[in-house]
Structure 1
Amino acid sequence: MDYFIVVVTTVAGLYFHWWLYVRIRRWMDRDLALSMAGKDERKKAYMLECLDKARAQKVKRAELAAWLEREAAGYTD
Structure 2
Amino acid sequence: MDYFIIVITSAAGLYFHWWLYVRIKRWMDRDLALSLAGADADKRALMLQRLGEAQASGIKRGDLPAWLARAAGEYAPPRD
**Same-fold call, TM cutoff 0.5:** yes
Among all aligned residue pairs of Structure 1 and Structure 2, give the percentage whose two residues are the same amino acid. Answer: 64
Structure 1 residue 37 corresponds to structure 2 residue 4: no
Q: Which runs of 5+ in 2 are unaligned?
A: none
Alpha-carbon offset, residue 51 of structure 1: 0.2
Structure 1 residue 61 corresponds to structure 2 residue 67: no
User: Partner of 1:61: helix, strand, or coil?
Assistant: coil
Runs of 4+ that moved beyond 3 A: none
Q: Deviations over 1:25-64 (max 9, x none)?
A: 0000000000000000000000000000000001000000
Q: Which runs of 5+ in 1 are unaligned?
A: none
> What does 1:17-28 align with in structure 2 at a 5 Å threshold?
17-28=17-28
TM-score by length of 2: 0.95
Q: Distance in 2 between matches of 1:75 and 1:53?
A: 15
**Aligned pairs, how many?**
77
2:72 corresponding residue in structure 1: 72
Q: Distance in 2 between matches of 1:14 and 1:54?
A: 28
TM-score by length of 1: 0.99
Give the RMSD, CA atoms, in angstroms: 0.4
Alpha-carbon offset, residue 76 of structure 1: 1.2
